[in-house]
Amino acid sequence: MLINYETTRSVQEVRQKIEEEAKARGFGVLATHEVTNILQNKGTPIDYQSVIVEICQPSSAQRVLSKNPYIATALPCRVAVFQSGDKTVVSTIAPTEMISMFNEPGLEDVAQKVESLIKEIIEKSL
């Protein structure tokens, strides 16, 4: 399941706010991928602005990875920010959905906590 939000703010304004809000809540910003620029530079442009912000909360990552190293395939949390018509869309895969793929019921509380924080981060960035 995707968690989606829309705003009239620009892609770059939202990206910057997501980075600030993530850091304020104890997340690290591991990378920001300027997808539009990357594709343009590779000769395969898209006609809208798109960025991906990778965020991670170290204590939660440590807990899930200590239980199941395969969960690394779902980390870090990726937040996509892109233009869609006259709106900016912010979208991420729900951590609760991601954790369900690994059949680790003891980690549902961690996923729920991270999901709540990511929703806060996004909502404060709109």
Domain boundaries, the chain: 2-118
Please, is 31 exposed, middle or buried when counting C-beta atoms within 10 Å of its C-beta (0-12, 13-18, 19+)?
exposed
CA distances from 94 to 1, 34, 98, 99, 115 (A): 6, 22, 6, 9, 6
Q: Which two tokens stand for residue 64?
A: 């899930």
Report pLDDT digits (tens) over 51-87: 999 999 999 999 999 999 999 999 999 999 999 999 9
Alpha-carbon gap, residue 29 to 54, rounded angstroms: 6
Task: Output the pTM of the full model.
Answer: 0.95
Give the pLDDT confidence of 55-65 residue by residue, as tens digits.
999 999 999 99
Tell me: domain 2-118, CATH 3.30.310.70, correct?
yes
Q: So what's the pLDDT on residue 98? A: 95
Predicted local confidence at residue 77, as pLDDT? 97
Pull the structure tokens for residue 57. 């909360």
Q: What is the mean pLDDT of residues 33-57?
A: 98
